[in-house]
Amino acid sequence: MSRTKNFSTPAAKRHGSAQGLLSAHALSLGFAAVLFALAAMAAIGFDLLSGARAYVGAESLWTKAQKAAVRSLHDYARRGADADWQRYRDSVGITLAYRASRETLARPHHDDAEAGRHLAAGGSDMADVGSMVRLHRWTSELAIMSQALRIWAEGDRLIDEINRLALQLHERVQRGERDDSLNGQLDSIDAIDTRLTKLEVRFSATLGEGARLIKTVFVSALAAAAVLLSLGSASLVYRNGRRTRRQAEALRASEERFRNAVTGGGDGFWDWDQSGRAVYVSERMESMLGHASGAMPRDIAALQALIHPHDRDRTLAIFKDHRDTGAACDLTLRVRMADGGWRWVRSRAQLRRDSETGHMHLAGFITDVHEQQLATLALRTSEARLRGIWETSRDAILIIDSDSIIRHCNPAVQAVLGYQPDELLNQPLERLQPPDLRQAHRLGVERFLATRQRHVPWQAVEVRALHKDGHELPVQLAFALMPEGDELHFISFMRPLAAPAARSADT
């Protein structure tokens, strides 16, 4: 093969090399600057979103404390017990701690440490208070965040009104007044509580909108930075590619392996030249399996011996089928570690022809899926156990959505209530309730969904159920919450009880 001569002078060569080096160096610095800015923006964005999440948690603590304070005042008016009054003071103290943090942060030259102590006193995790302080400092001038702070301040003002009425109530209780004589004052407290509930809903919605705004801004900024980074990367690759043609030729084999790796996917790369027994193994693959660099065998037979005996025949058959027919080569198997243990990996490979030598190469990646595989196997075992409980339990088990519609039920409903499971699917729960219990159930569900507070025990509740043939039977109920995605479901365990007369006879 002939080669064209290069008549450039040595000085010109050195000048061109220096220019290329300076240009590549400047481009590399720009690339690093964009990468640093991208990382910094990501860190700031995650910090602000963490602060927003922490404020949502703080709002929940504030709301729970406020509701607990009102309940304690009712108890105190009824019983006059000092413990009820102390519970009120403890609960309202949480809201006052959060108020102190807001007022501290509102000062022109506020003390972050002092604000953090108030947030922690309200119940916020110390690990979150830094993000919460920074979120207030950086976003309090935004319209949506200013609105949230105004709602918070209005809530604190209403807490002051409750506290004023509470002190008056305390004086009257100390004078011996109870119950009916205090109803007017309790009604005023309840009216403020109703207003606070609306404010709490508005605050949560406003804070959520603010968090979404922050997320949108930073995602957009990160996307723009990523575009700049991609353009810089493309420019760097393009320019260097033009100046490193001979290096690209020397690295052709490595780039070929890289293309094969992209096709196979995963973490640890391997490449078996089908013309012999030699196998290339990447350092990442060695590290994944606990080997020092260069310690793994490079002979195909020795590598195949590392496959778990229960997986070896299946693995080799899949490789052969891929070579012979082109069938997909994607499998999960166990491989022996350097310490003798076994690790689950996913292997994906593809047969490719080397354009230079004409040799066929079976190359691909292995991905560490050990934890995922163990979790999958554990999940299958758990599902099998739960399925056994579901299908063999003598208790009728029903899964009900927040609209009191039956979504699932187990086979035991036939023995307990006389229905085939399919007859109850997507039916209202009131089909199983005596008419005189339906209104109370409906109101109880609505109250729970509004407050997330349980007003009756959820364990071993004795009620009456309506059998398919129309007769009522005593049953014992137990409930539990079962979130499914964004929806809230209830799971009910229904156990039939003996009729009252039969139970008396038994005792």
Pairing verdict, β 268-273 and 487-496: unpaired
User: Does residue 24 form part of some domain?
Assistant: no
Given a contact cutoff of 8 angstroms between Cβ atoms, the answer to whether 169 and 73 are in contact is yes
pLDDT of residue 506: 40
148 and 290 in a single domain? The answer is no
What CATH number did the domain enclosing 317 receive? 3.30.450.20
Q: What is the 3-state secondary structure (H, E, C) of 426-448?
A: CCEHHHHCCHHHHHHHHHHHHHH
Same domain, 36 and 157: yes
Residue 80 lies in a domain: yes
Q: Are residues 97 and 164 in the same domain?
A: yes
Residue 192 host element (H or E): helix 183-243
Same domain membership, residue 176 and residue 47 = yes
Grouping H, G, I as helix, E, B as strand and the rest as coil, residue 126 is helix
What is this structure's pTM? Answer: 0.40
pLDDT value, residue 411: 94
Please say which residue of 331, 348, 375 terminates a domain: 375
Instruction: Supply the pLDDT for residue 9.
Output: 36
Residues 209, 72 within the same domain: yes
Domain assignment present for residue 425? The answer is yes
- Spatial neighbors of 434 by CB under 8 A, at least 6 apart, are 464, 465, 466, 472
pLDDT of residue 5: 34
In a domain, 246, yes or no: no
**pLDDT value for 269:** 84
pLDDT at res. 304: 87
Q: Is residue 399 in a domain?
A: yes
pLDDT at 122: 82
Claim to verify: residue 85 and residue 162 sit in the same structural domain = yes
Looking at residue 60, its pLDDT comes to 87
CA distance 288 to 308: 16
Q: Give the end of a domain, one of 345, 375, 405.
A: 375
Structural domain boundaries, residue 462: 393-506
Last residue of a domain, one of 315, 344, 375: 375
Per-residue pLDDT of the chain (507 residues), as tens digits, is: 333 333 333 333 334 444 555 555 666 666 677 677 777 767 777 777 787 788 888 888 999 988 999 999 899 888 889 999 999 999 998 999 888 888 888 888 778 888 888 888 888 888 888 888 888 778 877 888 888 888 888 988 999 999 999 999 999 999 888 767 788 888 999 999 999 998 888 888 887 887 787 778 777 877 777 777 677 666 666 776 677 666 656 556 666 655 554 444 457 888 888 787 788 888 888 888 889 888 888 888 888 899 999 999 999 999 888 888 888 889 899 999 989 999 999 888 888 887 777 788 888 888 888 888 888 888 888 888 888 888 888 999 999 998 999 999 999 999 999 999 999 999 999 999 999 999 988 998 889 888 888 877 788 789 999 999 999 999 998 888 887 777 888 898 999 997 654 443 343
Evaluated on CA atoms 457, 462, 468, 470, the torsion sign reads: negative
Q: Which helix (H) or strand (E) segment is 334 a member of?
A: strand 330-336
Tell me how many domains the chain contains: 3
Cβ-contact 290, 337 below 8 angstroms:
yes
Is residue 437 located within the same domain as residue 316? no
- Within a domain: 147: yes
Judgement on whether residues 85 and 188 belong to the same structural domain of the protein: yes
Q: Are residues 83 and 190 in the same domain?
A: yes
Can you spell out the DSSP letters for 31-46? HHHHHHHHHHHHHHHH
CB 284 within 8 A of CB 264: no
Measured distance CA(214)–CA(222) in Å, rounded: 12
Asked whether residue 240 is assigned to any structural domain, the reply reads no
Tokens describing residue 62: 């504030």
Are both 483 and 428 inside the same structural domain?
yes
Domain match, 338 and 422 both:
no
Both 280 and 417 in one domain: the answer is no
Q: Give domain status of residue 421, yes or no.
A: yes
